[in-house]
Amino acid sequence: MTAAIAPLQEFEENFRRRLPNKLIAGLVMLACFVLAAALASVIAPYDPNKLVAYPLEEPSSTHLLGTDPLGRDVLSRIIHAARVDLPLAVTVVALSAAVGAVVGGIAAYRGGFVDSLLNGLGSLVQAFPVYVLLIAVVFALGPGARSLVIGYVVINWVIYARIVRGEVLRVRGLDYVHAARGTGTSGVRLLCLHIFPNAFRQVLIYMSSDVVLAIGTIATFSFFGIGVQAPTAEWGAMVASGRLYLTTDPLQAIFPGLTMIALGLTFALIGDGLDDHLGV
Amino acid sequence: MTPSLEARQLTIEVDAGRRSFTPVEDLDVAVAPGRALGIVGESGSGKSLTLRALMGLLPPRVTVRSGEIRVDGEVIPRSTSRRPRATPGVAMVFQEPLGALNPLLRVKGLLDDVLRAGGRSGRKGTEERALSLLREVGISDPAAVMSAYPHQISGGQRQRVMIAMAMASEPRVLLCDEPTTALDVTIQQRILRLLRRIREEHEMSLIYVTHDLAVVNEVCDDVAIIYAGQIVESGKAEEVFASPAHPYTRMLIDSVPDVAERLDDLVGIPGVAPNPWQFPTGCRFHPRCFMAEPSCSEGPAFTRRQISTDRATACTYAEQLLDLSGGSDGSAA
């Protein structure tokens, strides 16, 4: 490294230092959640599905968050539920984004009739109230996590398709893409090297807030008993079973609820931080 | 001599939904082998569009409606914005280096992409070639710049990288769209010197689009003055600047600020350039011209006529104007 590039090092250091605090906080929190989920059987003090004490015990040193109406350890169940909720939410969002990216990419790239057709299809899906459509799909396929994922993707791809379409159109108008096209860079190479990577920043930011929505939706459906099925520990289902005791033992619903709020905050911080950092 | 690159009767159409208009109409421009041509005009005169049409890379919704582009006398099939095709043997340096460089690729990747698109070398040869290109455009530490992203290098270096990318295809004609407008004067000076050097070494032709007369004087042999989508005057740069044969050229020269003079002494040109969807009839410059006669506003757009071997002007009263500036000592140049 010589003088010409010395400012570069300085810049890179600056750049790293200026990684938004929000983003760092969010990533640290996410790491905690992921670790908890991955090491659930090690960290959790009890088996989440075993009856280990009397029902509805108050938090104590043996059961930090108390026990549920059946006498299972609440903390262990909350930790194990992360194994269900996190992968489910991430899968749902990743699949939606993937489908949306393909559809949006094709719409923008082909233009004309194909574009109108795919746009119309998207509008058709969006014309239905989200929950009505989702309930219909879940009932048609039978309750369970798999149906929930399929139903969610069927609805959710539209937003990603819209974002990707708009971004691809924007990026495609930039000089470097135009120049690359003119000099004979082929379709796939052009898409993978020049267009998609630059169109994907918006998607990334939206994904992080979408995870929060997905977790909420999964919990809602499990709360109503048509999502993740008992006895699997799931935050929404835990809130549901706790709501019967809301007047006498409000903590039953509060602890899993707080966990979801914390996870929501995590992804909100990541999304916000990414937004600042990528400066879209 | 056959021009290296030439546009004949070029008409460019912009499709703006219900109405369309032609910001460039029946424009003729040519650059001879090994020479540098400056195209000078105000914002919105159609100079950048002309350059892009010559490059074969028009933005979406913009098309060449009529006329032809020739390379060494041969007509090039028309490029469309849906399927753009760069004119062979021609490369371009863009105005805004940040928009013209993919922000997610390192300089190495940028050069690799153009080198491989040209199909000139295999994977192994490209790195060597990329390094030598960077060295050629005067980057003192090519290895370090290779691994940097566009936003990490300075504006001057970015412009050099872009010139290197343009040179990668070994073009015969290099098109420059105001490549130094975003740079400060000292860096601008170096980039201009670099352009002159590589042009001489590679015996390339150059077309340089700008609104800066001083830059044209420095880099170009010939000059074409563009107004409202048409060339109003053309000729050798020094002759045109010494004794303009079109009132617009005259007024352009007079409105260049002199560092030593105060701004309120500036002459300037009254009015603004016309919108491309409502060009005036007759001579398009007549509403702003200081020597316009009633006849200037009549008939179709004025076309250029030859007034000496390599000079042409669209002004009917060019001779009067020449007498006028011949009377003074030509200090405007």
Question: Is B144's CB within 8 Å of A4's CB?
Answer: yes
Separation of alpha carbons B135 and B118, rounded Å? 20
Chain B residue with minimum CA distance to A176: B100
Instruction: Please identify every stretch of chain B with a pLDDT value under 70, giving residue numbers as ranges.
Output: 118-123, 261-267, 325-333
In the three-class reduction of DSSP (H, G, I as helix; E, B as strand; rest coil), residue A23 is classed as helix
Interchain contact, B56 vs A197, CB within 8 Å: no
Measure in Å the smallest separation between the Cα of B22 and chain A Cα atoms: 21
A vs B, Cβ pairs < 8 A, gives: 74
CB neighbours of A25 closer than 8 A, spacing ≥ 6? Answer: A269, A273
Rounded CA-CA distance B176/B92 in Å is 6
* Chain B: closest CA distance from residue A202 (Å): 15
Query: What is the per-residue DSSP string for A153-218?
Result: HHHHHHHHHHHHHHHHHHHHTSHHHHHHHHTT--HHHHIIIIIHHHHHHHHHHHHHHHHHHHHHHH
Q: By the 8 A CB rule, do A82 and A75 touch?
A: no
Q: Longest C-alpha distance within chain B, in Å?
A: 68
* Residue of B102, B105, B141 to mutate, interface with A, max A Cβ within 10 Å: B102
pLDDT of residue B266: 65
Sheet holding B230-236, edge to edge: B90-93, B173-177, B205-210, B36-40, B222-227, B230-236, B311-313, B305-308
Distances (CA, A) of A65 to A79, A210, A243, B317: 11, 29, 16, 96
Please report the DSSP string for A48-96 in residue order: TTS--S-TTPPP-SSSTT-B-TTS-BHHHHHHHHHHHHHHHHHHHHHHH
The answer for A52, left when phi > 0, alpha when psi is -120 to 50, beta otherwise, is alpha
Least Cα separation, residue A87 to chain B (angstroms): 29
Residue A207 C-alpha, separation from nearest chain B C-alpha, in angstroms: 20
- CB–CB of B140 and A4 under 8 A? yes
Interface of A with B (CB under 8 A): 1-2, 4-5, 7-8, 11-12, 173-185, 193-194, 197-198
Which residue among A7, A12, A181 sits closest to B84, beta carbon to beta carbon?
A181
H-helix segments, chain B? 47-55, 97-100, 107-118, 123-136, 142-146, 155-167, 185-202, 213-219, 237-242, 247-254, 318-327
Peptide bond into A231 cis (omega under 30): yes
B79–A182 CB contact, under 8 Å = yes
Nearest to B113 among A12, A182, A193 (CB): A193
Burial B48-58 (b: 16+ CB within 10 A, else e): bbbbbbbbbbb
Please list every residue in chain B whose beta carbon sits closer than 8 Å to the beta carbon of residue A193.
102, 105, 109, 113
Residues 6+ apart with CB under 8 A from B40: B47, B210, B211, B212, B213, B216, B223, B224, B225, B226, B252
Q: Give the model's pLDDT for residue A2.
A: 45
As for the ipTM of the complex, it is: 0.70
Interchain contact B33–A (C-beta under 8 A): no
Residue B99 at interface with chain A, using a CB cutoff of 8 Å: yes
A8 to B152: CB separation less than 8 angstroms, yes or no: yes
Percent of chain A's residues with pLDDT above 70: 92
- Which residue of chain B is at minimal alpha-carbon distance from A2? B141
d(CA A81, CA A48): 9
The residue among B211, B240, B248 whose CA lies nearest residue B223 is B240
Residues of A in contact with B84 (CB under 8 A): 178, 181-182
- Test the A interface: residue of B54, B111, B113 with most A CBs within 10 Å: B113
In chain B, what residues touch A178 (CB-CB under 8 Å)? 57, 59, 84
Q: Which residues of chain A have pLDDT under 50?
A: 1-3
Q: Minimal Cα distance from A11: which residue of B? A: B152
